[in-house]
A and B are shown apart, each in its own frame.
Chain A
Amino acid sequence: MDNGRTKFEVRGFSLFYGSFCALRDVDITIPVNRITAIIGPSGCGKSTFLRTFNRMNDLIPSVSVKGEVAMDGQDILSMDVVELRRRVGMVFQKPNPFPKSIFDNVAYGPRANGLRDRAKLSQIVEQSLRRAALWEEVKDDLGKSGLALSGGQQQRLCIARALAVQPEVILMDEPASALDPIATLKIEELIQTLKELYTIVIVTHNMQQAARASDYTAFFMMAEDRAGYLVEYDSTTRIFTNPQHKQTEEYITGRFG
């Protein structure tokens, strides 16, 4: 399973909200074209850690960081943040389509990047919707409002929107937690096909989802001073069949957390 290629290399990474340490000394290597799941109890910093990869935490005042985060060997902390976020897309827990047509939702990013050519935009919209496994359901209705879609379709629309700017990485923060079981499975299947083209990092509260849908799993926990830290990182198979740390075992078997 290990393809030996690294997308992100995180070394000695800590994150502070003011003086409060939210993440302490995280070392992790995120492989290219693989799905890495981040699990852990509420408050352990997993979403904060996910947002590190596209520096969404920069938007929060008083945040400071320590350590290194490199993407393809390049320090992301000193990278142009607009360029970083084009390369590292994000999908959130609650589907958040813009109050625009399906077409305009997907074309939003490329247009923001200056693309005006209608034919080229149409091509990107179709390709993105196909990759997000939504094309067949909406191809005759691209002018319909994105908000008129079902929850599961809206989430796939958001994925298509993220894909339209041709990112290398997709971050997903509990992308299926607001969806029903069938829509959830569709998203999970979709993630499997997307990893051929993208590196995926996903935060999930759903243990079975992490077990089903990811290649690697990182388990985070909260220390006594409430700082999040990485307990164990291994292949998903290993984490869910024979984890090496007692805390991981207790968490995944539902005995604490």
Chain B
Amino acid sequence: MPRETFDRELKRLQDETLVLGSIVENALTQSVAALKKRDFAASRRLIEQDCQINERRFAIESDALILIATQQPIASDLRTIAAVLEITTELERIGDYAKGIAKINLLIGDRPLVKPLIDLPVMAEKARAMLHQALDAFVRRDVDLARAIPAEDDVIDGLYNQVYRELLTHIMQDHTLIEQANYLLWAAHNLERAGDRVINICERVVFTVTGEMEELDVKEGTCITPEAI
């Protein structure tokens, strides 16, 4: 094997991406769990932890650039490194969504929630599971799995629409709830966006394996978000 060092470094880069992915997965579900339990200490910890996510992402980016500069990767090797750069960017953004939800918990403060949180934890768990599968597909170079994951985003979009309508109903009944309902809608929106970013990761997996760019998120207008308008 003439490229042992390179292969080792390439594997390490992917391992680091998986580690970052698992931190982000946890951040996503924990941010919603903390919101549900109104656990401010947990939310503060998550906000602090986001710095670690960012630092890890920069470290991976730096390692990837060094690998490009020193090893001149081409073809599937180059696509793998390009995918790592893209995927870590997406992970960092999903981490930001989790941090945003943690901040929302603090913003809502001591006031009781307008409604018990049922759909948001389901959305968070769904997004987490999709992310886990997408990273699994990346490591296993599983194009079929990568192509199948985006369909699951429909569940998240459906729940987001449901949360949106429910919160709207609450606001119409009691205008003093506008602020909190708005915060909760942001939280739901963050989870919806997390699902979209997982689809981007899936697209990268397909590109890494096939060398062809493929749009996997083809549905339009199914979600009441600023991006869909």
Q: Which residues on A are within 8 Å of B, measured CB to CB? A: 207-208, 211, 240-243, 249, 252-256
A253 and B1 in contact, given A241-B211, A242-B211 (Cβ under 8 angstroms): no
> Which residues of chain B are near A254, meaning CB under 8 Å?
2-3, 6
Give A256 to B7 CA distance when docked, in angstroms.
13
User: Which among A208, A241, A256 is the interface contact of B75 at CB below 8 angstroms?
Assistant: A241
A211 and B74 in contact, given A241-B211, A242-B211 (Cβ under 8 angstroms): yes
Q: Max chain B CB contacts within 10 Å: which of A208, A240, A255?
A: A255
Give A240 to B79 CA distance when docked, in angstroms.
11
Give A240 to B74 CA distance when docked, in angstroms.
6
Q: Which residues on B are within 8 Å of A, measured CB to CB? A: 1-3, 6, 72-79, 210-212
User: Which among A240, A242, A252, A255 is the interface contact of B1 at CB below 8 angstroms?
Assistant: A255
User: Which among B77, B210, B211 is the interface contact of A253 at CB below 8 angstroms?
Assistant: B77
User: Which among B1, B3, B75, B212 is the interface contact of A249 at CB below 8 angstroms?
Assistant: B75
Q: Provide 29 A-B residue pairs closer than 8 Å at the C-beta atoms, listed in order of the A residue.
A: A207-B72, A207-B74, A211-B74, A240-B74, A240-B75, A241-B74, A241-B75, A241-B78, A241-B79, A242-B75, A242-B76, A242-B210, A242-B211, A242-B212, A249-B75, A249-B76, A252-B74, A252-B75, A253-B3, A253-B73, A253-B75, A253-B76, A253-B77, A254-B2, A254-B3, A254-B6, A255-B1, A255-B2, A255-B3
Give A243 to B210 CA distance when docked, in angstroms.
10
Q: Max chain B CB contacts within 10 Å: which of A208, A253, A255, A256?
A: A253
Interchain nearest-CB distance for A101 vs B (Å): 41
Give A253 to B72 CA distance when docked, in angstroms.
9
> Which residues of chain B are near A253, meaning CB under 8 Å?
3, 73-77
Q: Which residue of B lies closest to A256 (CB)?
A: B2
Give A243 to B1 CA distance when docked, in angstroms.
20
Q: Which residue of A lies closest to B78 (CB)?
A: A241
Closest 9 CB pairs of A and B: A242-B211, A254-B3, A240-B74, A253-B77, A249-B75, A253-B75, A252-B74, A255-B3, A252-B75
Give A207 to B211 CA distance when docked, in angstroms.
20
Give A243 to B75 CA distance when docked, in angstroms.
7
Q: Which residue of B lies closest to A248 (CB)?
A: B75
Q: Max chain A CB contacts within 10 Å: which of B74, B76, B78, B212?
A: B74
Interchain nearest-CB distance for A41 vs B (Å): 11
Give A240 to B2 CA distance when docked, in angstroms.
19
Interchain nearest-CB distance for B3 vs A (Å): 5
> Which residues of chain B are near A249, meaning CB under 8 Å?
75-76
